[in-house]
Amino acid sequence: MNLDTTNHLENVRKAAANLNGVLRTTDMIYSEFFSKETGNRIYIKPENLQRTGSFKIRGAFNKVANLTEEERAKGIIASSAGNHAQGVALAASKMGIKATIVMPQVTPLIKIDSTKSYGADVVLHGNVYDEAYAKAVELAKANGYTFVHPYNDYDVMCGQGTIALEILEELEDIDQILVPVGGGGLISGIAMAAKAIKPTIQVIGVEPVGAASMTAALDAGHVVTLDKVQTGAEGVAVKTVGDLALEVCSKYVDGIIQVTEDEIMEALLLLLERHKIICEAAGALPLAAIKKLNTRNKNIACVVSGGNIDMVTISSTINSGLVTRGRVLCFTVDLPDTPGQLLSIAQILSDHRANVIKLEHNQFKAIDRVQNVQLEVTAETNGHEHIKTVIDALEAGGFKVNRIY
């Protein structure tokens, strides 16, 4: 297709009409906390509250709504790490269409069960999205299904672009939109629509360092396949971006920021702690990137793309975020096996307001267990400076501290 001659805004508005009555309203949330931290005015677009728990219903439903009667009769198939799967499954169920979804074997259980609950048949295959995609294409050819691509499809992009319509209708003075990037469909749709409405707006993508497939493609000037992806943000763990998505991003996207796993975990924790918003790792990417923006006094919309995260992952994420923020200290010390040593440690921690969460007093872990005993302490702290103060006080008291985390 010719991007220059296609009326993207008209097509995104048609997608909005298709989605009328399907979507939940996800009004933006002004974040006083993130605004103070960055010197900008930060608004959160909470697509984690959308139907199926993510933005994906927008593109999936628009694609299915545009299928011919013949295509609907044969059925559809999709590959997904979970969110697109649920969007396709819900769209299919509403239109009475048979849907098959191929998902990576590492997909969180909540996403698998949710997809099945909408009536789709689920096939688990491969460890990353790209392997599930290859299987879905194979099944589509064998059975005559229409493949609903999660990101490299113009109708899907137009559905995702309705987010830009809503952001700019709600606050026309938005200067920048930060968007998570996996395969590139979400940012493509948002960029096409946003630039058509407001050419001066900046649309910036955010990728994990360990899955920077769009950055690699933009740098190379063509689609490339990463050797591997390594990130806890499974929703954007994509080795190869779409060729159409790359073309759109090359034309309309203003830049890509990369963030580390620690930065993602910290953003997740802050969203939960400050806004009581639970999102998946991919959804936190824009909030993880805002400190890296070289701007002040700008209105910035951060698209929190999804919230489909299971309880075990939430627990692990919270723990990782607490460590990253310096909210937990775990250390060991070898103590003489004499009365009063544990009391001395406890007194120092108490004097410096470190709240003990867990203690393990173990004679069998010490190097010389005849004379010494190893004490492992986990304590609640109030940031990295507080941790340094506590460790300094312990070492000033004659204890050699071995910090675990």
Does residue 305 carry a catalytic annotation?
A: yes
| Catalytic member of 31, 114, 305, 320 | 305
Residue 46's alpha-carbon distances to 207, 237, 239, in angstroms, are 18, 21, 26
| Catalytic member of 56, 111, 135, 239 | 56
Does residue 56 carry a catalytic annotation?
A: yes
Contact predicate 266/223, CB 8 Å: no
Residues in Cβ contact with 333 at an 8 Å cutoff, skipping those fewer than 6 apart: 345, 374, 375, 377, 394, 399, 400, 401, 402
Positions annotated as catalytic residues are 56, 305
